[in-house]
Amino acid sequence: MFNWLSSISAVSNCFTWGSVSIAYLGFRKALRAQGVDRDTLPYKAPFQPYATYLALGFFIVVIVFSGFPAFVGGFDYEAFVTSYITIPVFFLLYFGYKIVRKTKVLTSAEVDLFSGKTEIDAEDAHYVDLPPGSVGERFWDWLF
Give pLDDT tens digits for 29-66: 999 999 999 998 888 888 999 999 999 999 999 999 98
Please state the rounded mean pLDDT for residues 124-139: 88
Does residue 55 contact residue 24 with C-beta atoms inside 8 Å? no
Residue 125 main-chain phi, psi, to 5 deg:
-65, -25
pLDDT tens-digit readout, 55-100: 999 999 999 998 888 898 899 898 898 889 999 999 999 999 999 9
pTM score? 0.81
Higher pLDDT residue, 42 or 16?
16
Closest CA to 69 of 10, 141, 135: 10
Q: How far apart are CA 144 and CA 139, in angstroms?
A: 9
C-beta atoms surrounding 8 within 10 Å: 16
Return all residues near 113 (Cβ < 8 A) that are at least 6 apart.
30, 31, 34, 36
For the chain, the domains span 2-143
Q: Is residue 3 over pLDDT 80?
A: no
End-to-end CA distance of the chain: 44
pLDDT at 83: 87
C-alpha–C-alpha distance, residues 99 and 96, integer Å: 5
Asked if 69 and 76 touch (Cβ cutoff 8 Å), the reply is yes
Half-sphere exposure at residue 123, Cβ-oriented, CA atoms within 13 angstroms: 6
